[in-house]
Amino acid sequence: MQARWKINTEYDKLLAGKLQSELNIDRINAILLVQRGIIDFESAKQFFRPSLDLLHDPFLMKDMDKAIDRINTALSKREKVLIYGDYDVDGTTAVALTYSFFKSYGVDAGFYIPDRYNEGYGISFKGIDFAKENGYSLIIALDCGIKSIDKVDYANEKEIDFIICDHHLPGEFLPKAVAVLDPKRKDCDYPYKELTGCGLGYKLCQAIIRSNKQNEKVLENFIDLVAVSIAADIVPITGENRVLAHYGLKRINALSRAGFRAVIDLNKLKKELTISDLVFVLAPRINAAGRIEHGSQAVELLIADTIERAEEIAKQINLTNTRRKDLDQAITGEAINIIETDVLSVTRKSTVVYSENWHKGVVGIVASRLVERFYRPTIVLTQSNGKITGSARSVKDFDVYEAIEACSELLEQFGGHKYAAGLTLVPENIVAFQEKFERIVSSTITDEMLIPELEIDIQIQLTEITDKCFRILKQFAPHGPGNMIPVFVSENIFDTGYVKIVGNNHLKLELYQKGKPEVKFQAIAFDKGEHYENFRNQIPAKICYQVQENIFNGVPSIQLVVKDIQFS
C-alpha cells in the first residue's frame, strides 16, 4: 500500500535560526530540536546531557505520602508485602524492580503474576485469596488496578490493604485503596504523565529512600528494568522517560543484570543495544513467558542472581518465544485467509476475525500484523474459558478504545487506550459486535486515516549530511514516540550505477543528488527490489530516508536507510 508523505513544516523558522547560531550547529539539527520543543541552550543541554537530577520529586504525585506511610508501617511491623503485576513486559519488569528493591530493603516480600488464561488481565480474586492464605496484609499492584473497584473492595473485606501504581486512564471512580498512584488522575499534579508501570515502581522506591533519608544511588541497580518497560510499552521517550531510558540503556550495555546478559548472549548480540533492540529482542522474549507459559517465569529471569540460573531460564524462554513465533505465523496466515475470502471484506473499514482455536497469547500480535497488511482498525478474537476474548489494534489517529466503548452494551468487559485495547464478550454477541463495531468505525474514520502516513521531518540536500551533522544527529537517541528517528526527504536522486538486488528483494545503492556527484552515500532500501530498473535507467527519484551508522569490518560509515521512493 502506497503511503502518504507528510512533511513537517510547522516549526518556528526564526527560532530554529536563533538556536543554530547559539549552539553552533547545522540547519538540520536546529530544525529537529525546535520540532521537538527544544528552543534554547538550557533545554538543549538537558536533551543532549540527560541527568538523574532532572527526575521529579516523587512526592509531587497524588497519594505518594499515603503510600509511603503505609509501607513504613509495614516495615516497622514486619508485615508481609505482596508485589502484584500484570503478565506483560511492563508488569513483569515492574514486579522484578519493586520486589528486588523491597527484598534488598529487608522487607518480607513475595510476588504474584496472574495467569493470563485462568485469571485474565489485572487484579484477580484468586490473587487476593492467595495473599490471604499466605499471610500478606499489603498488596502493591503495578501496571494494573486503576479500575479494579470490586477486587479492592473484596480485599478490604479480607483486611488486606492495596497500594495501586497504574498508568492507565482511570474510570469515573477510583478503587478504595490506601493509595492510588496514577499521574493520569485528574486530581494529580505530577508534572510528567507518561511513566510506565515500572516507572511508577521506580518512583515509589525513590520515595521510600527519600522518606528514610538514604542514598538514591542504589536505584541505579534497577533503572535497566525501567528502560525495557519504556521500550516495550511504546510510551513517549520524553521528559523523565528519556532520562530513565538513557541511563537504563547504559546499564543494560554494561551487562550488570544476569537475566539480560543471558538473553543477550543467547541471541549473540555483540553490538551496543539501542531502544530498537529492546523492542525487538529483549521485550518479545520477556513477553513470551506470559503469552505462552506464565509471566512469573519472566520475573524469575529478571531477578536471577547468578548467570547460571539466568541462562537456564533464558533457554526456556527462548524456546517459548520460538513457539510464540510459530503460533503468530500460523494464526496470521489463517486470519489473512478469512479476510481475503470474505466477499464483504473489501467494503469494510474495520476487521473483526474470530476462531475458537487461536491461542489467546498471540492475538494482540496477530492484530498488529493484520493492521500492517490491511491498514484498518482490527480486532482478533478467540475463545477462552467459555468467553470470547481478544485484542484490538488501530491505525494512526483513530481511537479504537472509543469505538469499542461505543459497543459496551455487547461486552462483558474492556480496557486499553487509543491504539490498543482488550475486550471480552459472550459467544452469542460476536456477530452483533462485529456489525456494530463496523458501523461505528465507518461513521467516524476518514478515508485519509485508512492510508498509511509517512511522517517526514525536513526536506534537505544530501550535501547537508556532513560528519559534524551526523555526530550531533546520533546524540538524539534514545529514540521513540515523541523523539522518533528523524526522517528526511531529498529529490533529484540518482544511483551511481552501483544498484543491485540483495537478500530478500532489497536494493543496495550508492546515491548522489543531481549536480553534486562528488557527494555520494551508500544506501539500503528494504523490500524495494521492484524499483531496480528505475534506478538502472537513471529516472530521477525522490527518496524518504533515515541517516544511520553502518559498521563494516569495524569501520563506521554513514548509510541512508530508504523508507519510500517516488519517481518523476
**By C-alpha distance, which of 525, 520, 533 is closest to 508?**
525
| Beta-sheet strand order (sheet of 136-142) | 108-112, 80-85, 136-142, 161-165, 179-181
Whole-number mean pLDDT of the chain?
Answer: 94
Q: Which residues contact 316 (CB under 8 A, 6 or more apart)?
A: 293, 297
pLDDT confidence tier of residue 552, bands split at 50, 70 and 90: confident
How does pLDDT run across 408-451, given as a tens digit for each residue? 999 998 887 788 888 999 999 999 999 999 999 999 999 999 99
Q: Which residues contact 97 (CB under 8 A, 6 or more apart)?
A: 198, 201, 202, 205, 222, 225, 226
Half-sphere exposure of 66 (CA within 13 A, CB side): 15
d(CA 197, CA 203): 10
For the four alpha carbons of 63, 67, 68 and 69, in that order, the dihedral sign comes to positive
**By C-alpha distance, which of 349, 418, 348, 350 is closest to 381?**
350
Question: 505-529 burial string, b = 16+ CB within 10 Å, else e?
Answer: ebbebbbbbeeeeeebbebbbeebb
pLDDT confidence tier of residue 346, bands split at 50, 70 and 90: confident
pLDDT for residue 438:
97
Whether residue 361 has pLDDT greater than 90 = no
pLDDT for residue 343:
81
User: Strand pairing of 80-85 and 136-142?
Assistant: parallel
pTM: 0.91
With vertex at residue 510, the alpha carbon angle to CA 507 and CA 516, rounded to the nearest 5 degrees, is: 140
Q: Which amino acid is at 494?
A: F
Question: 442-472 burial string, b = 16+ CB within 10 Å, else e?
Answer: eeebeeebbeeeeebbbebebeebeeebbeb
pLDDT for residue 118:
81
Whether residue 123 has pLDDT greater than 80 = yes
The answer to whether residues 367 and 344 touch, using CB atoms and an 8 Å cutoff, is no
Q: Which amino acid is at 76?
A: S
3-class DSSP state for residue 75?
A: helix
**By C-alpha distance, which of 240, 207, 564, 126 is closest to 139?**
126
User: Strand pairing of 506-513 and 488-495?
Assistant: antiparallel
d(CA 490, CA 493): 7
**Neighbour tally for 125: CB within 10 Å:** 12
3-class DSSP state for residue 564?
A: strand
> Rounded to 5 degrees, what are φ and ψ at 452?
-55, 145
The pLDDT of 317-327, averaged and rounded, is 90
d(CA 496, CA 545): 18
Task: Look at phi and psi of residue 137 and say left if phi exceeds 0, alpha if psi is from -120 to 50, else beta.
Answer: alpha
d(CA 207, CA 205): 5
The pLDDT of 12-23, averaged and rounded, is 94
How does pLDDT run across 76-100, given as a tens digit for each residue? 999 999 999 998 899 999 999 999 9
pLDDT confidence tier of residue 520, bands split at 50, 70 and 90: very high
pLDDT for residue 472:
96
How does pLDDT run across 230-261, given as a tens digit for each residue? 999 889 999 999 999 999 999 999 988 999 99
3-class DSSP state for residue 396?
A: coil
Q: Which amino acid is at 480?
A: G
The answer to whether residues 41 and 23 touch, using CB atoms and an 8 Å cutoff, is yes
Looking at residue 40, what DSSP letter applies? S
Tell me the CA end-to-end span of the chain in Å, nearest whole number: 19
3-class DSSP state for residue 193?
A: coil
Q: Which residues contact 29 (CB under 8 A, 6 or more apart)?
A: 20, 469, 472, 473
Q: At what angle do helices 125-133 and 149-157 cross, to 10 degrees?
A: 20
d(CA 379, CA 351): 6
3-class DSSP state for residue 242?
A: helix
d(CA 147, CA 173): 8
Q: Which amino acid is at 278?
A: L
Compute the residue count for the chain: 568
pLDDT confidence tier of residue 386, bands split at 50, 70 and 90: confident
3-class DSSP state for residue 355?
A: coil
The pLDDT of 533-561, averaged and rounded, is 93
Domains and CATH numbers, the chain: 4-48+454-567 (2.40.50.460), 58-316 (3.90.1640.30), 331-450 (3.10.310.30)
Whether residue 139 has pLDDT greater than 90 = yes
pLDDT for residue 76:
93
